[in-house]
Structure 1
Amino acid sequence: MIEYLSRNLHHTDLHLNQYGMEQCLTEHHHGPAVRDHYLIHYILEGSGRFVVGNQTYHLRKGEGFLICPGVVTYYEADKNDPWAYGWVGFHGLQAEFYLTQAGLDAEHPTFRYDRDDELANYLTMMTNTTSLNTARDMQLTGLLYLILSLLVDNTQNETQIDNKENRKEVYIRKVIDFIEMNYSSKFTIAQIAHFVGLDRSYLCSIFKEYIHISIQEYLIHYRMNKACELMRNRQLSIGDISRSVGYDDPLLFSKMFKKIKGSSPKSYRNLIGTLFE
């Protein structure tokens, strides 16, 4: 069974546009072909092969594969033990980020999830969703998030980080990811620590050990660099830029900008204006 969602919402963080489940016939195949969205297949029974580029993956129950937009792929059910699978197709501004967190991309398109039946259950719940349109869309999007969260959690559990130094690098990457996603909003170092899952003091200590500046200093530098990028857009006022990088007070923004960049926002904008004229 195949379900398609008609709305084209590429501007949303995550949008489901098709899903389904199928018991394939012997040697049932698709492709070679490309998609304009991400598509995950998860094998419920049987086996088959997935081909992308020069790589052929022989997959079975409990495994799955990712098709990335614009990538030519081919997949075929096994002749003797054809697979049954469920799938979800989606796109959105955060789709690539979530997949990366799950360890999936064009270079690493396969995964194994065999610790429980949750992934299969969520796919089944999708096909059984029969609510009215608005509620149905919300339920389906929620299930898509749950599916991706399982894959992310599964990958993190399978990645054995035995070396303490490597573990610290993972924490620092999480801090940087948080800042990159939220720099335009107000937040505290305590909120970052909660996101990472560490004590605030310990997180600040290991961050400075590796990056050689504090988290607060890194955040300020990141915001000021983003502000410099926005300066090129003449339609934005200094106040617009200030708010866009997390400062409601333009005077405080100007003070921090001058401290980091050595000149006021207005002087900096005038300077880059002469450089690019």
Structure 2
Amino acid sequence: MIEYLPRSKLYTQLYLTQFGMEDCLPGHDFGPAVRTHYLFHYVFEGEGLFEVDGAEYRLAQGEGFLICPHVVTYYRADRSNPWSYGWIGFNGTLAETLLAQAGLTSAAPVLRCGHNDRIRRLLQEMAEPCADRKARETRLTGLLYLALSLLVECGTEAPRPSALSRAETYAEQVKDFIEMNFSSKFGMEDVAASIGLNRSYLCALFTRETGTSIQDYLIRYRIDTASAMLGNTDLSIGDIARSVGYADPLVFSKAFKKITGKSPKSYRDDLPTESDAESDAESDTE
């Protein structure tokens, strides 16, 4: 079974390009060749050989190997105990990050993963028919995420060449928390609990690393987001206040003026209109 899919127009962060399963004949091989996307093979039964960058890997049941884009590889089924495997081909801006969480890179392309039945079932689900093309694309993307989550469960995150210090990592986690939750009401205890650190320690660490407090970073992030939203005249000031985490529009207006020097209304009034942009364009062409 093999199926190739056109590149997704809906999903750019992660999308499936092909998938399949095969009971290989003795000595069946492929390559040397390169791929334009990531391709992960998982061995259900049997044995085989995988070669990349001058290294040879003997693989058996419960192991898998990753082929990275534009890297020359070769693989061959064992002549006496040929492997049966399944594979998923994929790409997208998130692909490398998710693979690194599983410890899979071009330098470390092999993974031991005891999820035989679960991976096989996911591949079988991918092959199930679906009448609606867009619905099928969404379902396949979801199944791809599930498959990669199994690999992440098995692996250990690969070290990054320019790894952040522990303090920098905690500061980045605070920023990530704020970006995901800025529209909700939360306290510093919630931020600290999400990261697993003492509140006072985390607050001091963040200030030392960034030069600003968590609270000030949160306020500025909310106001910067609100500033961008004020260009949408379909939204009232109250709508925008609630969208960035302020239940009281008056409190929002005070915070906004403190950061920008203007009230939200004045800031909106000073934004260039479409007619201003058209006038500027006309004067540029004269």
The alignment's TM-score, normalised by the length of structure 2, stands at: 0.64
**Letter matched to residue 176 of structure 1:** E
**Partners in 2 of 1:113 and 1:37 — Cα distance?**
22
Does the 8 Å contact 2:192/2:198 carry over to 1?
A: no
* 2:130 corresponds to 1:131: yes
- 1:1-277 → structure 2 map (5 Å cutoff): 1-9=1-9, 12-114=12-114, 117-127=117-127, 129-132=128-131, 133-156=133-156, 169=166, 173=169, 176=172, 179=175, 183=179, 186=182, 192-193=191-192, 196=195, 198=196, 202=198, 205=201, 208=204, 212-213=208-209, 217=213, 239-240=227-228, 254=260
Q: Distance in 2 between matches of 1:40 and 1:21?
A: 12
CA contact (8 A) 2:50 2:75 kept: yes
Residue type matched to 2:129 in 1?
T
Q: CA deviation at 1:176?
A: 2.3
One-letter code aligned to 2:21: M
| Rounded Cα–Cα distance in structure 1 between residues aligned with 2:74 and 2:49 | 8
Pair 1:33–1:205, CA change in 2 (3 A):
same
Structure 2: tracts of 5 or more residues without a match: 159-164, 221-226, 232-243, 245-251, 262-286
Shift of 1:194: 6.2
CA distance in 2, matches of 1:45, 1:136: 29
Q: Matches of 1:49 and 1:66 in 2, distance apart?
A: 13
Distance 1:80 1:174, change over 3 A: farther
TM-aligned CA deviation for residue 177 of structure 1? 5.4
The alpha carbon displacement at 1:47 in A equals 0.8
TM-align CA RMSD:
4.0
* CA displacement 1:99-147 (0-9 Å, x = unmatched): 11111111111101116632232122223x2112222222211111111
Q: Is the 8 A contact 1:11 1:93 kept in 2?
A: no
Name the amino acid aligned to 2:172. Answer: I
SS of 2:136's equivalent in the other structure is helix
SS at match of 2:198: helix
Separation in 1, partners of 2:215, 2:66: 34
- Contact 1:28/1:77, CA 8 A, preserved across alignment: yes
In the alignment, residue 148 of structure 1 is paired with which amino acid?
L
- Evaluate the alpha carbon distance shift between residue 43 and residue 223 of structure 1 in structure 2; reply closer, same or farther with a 3 A threshold: farther
Instruction: Give the direction of change, closer, same or farther, for the CA distance of 1:61–1:6 in structure 2 (3 Å limit).
Output: same
Letter in 2 for 1:130: P
**Residues 202-235 of structure 1, C-alpha deviations (whole Å, 9 max, x = no match):** 26636856994489747978999xxxxxxxxxxx
User: For 1:42, what is the secondary structure of its paired residue?
Assistant: strand
Rg larger in structure: 2
Read off the aligned partner of 2:201 and give its amino acid letter: S
After superposition, the Cα gap between the structure-2 partners of 1:53 and 1:81, relative to the gap in structure 1 and judged at 3 Å, is same
Structure 1: where are the runs of 5+ without partners? 160-167, 225-238, 256-277
Show the counterpart of 1:230.
none
Partners of 2:44 and 2:116 within 8 A in 1? no
Preserved contact between residue 33 and residue 74 of structure 2 (Cα < 8 Å): yes
Specify the SS of the correspondent of 1:85: strand
Which segments of structure 1 move beyond 3 Å, counting only runs of 4 or more? 7-11, 171-175, 177-185, 187-196, 206-224, 239-243, 247-255
Q: Secondary structure at the match of 2:12?
A: coil
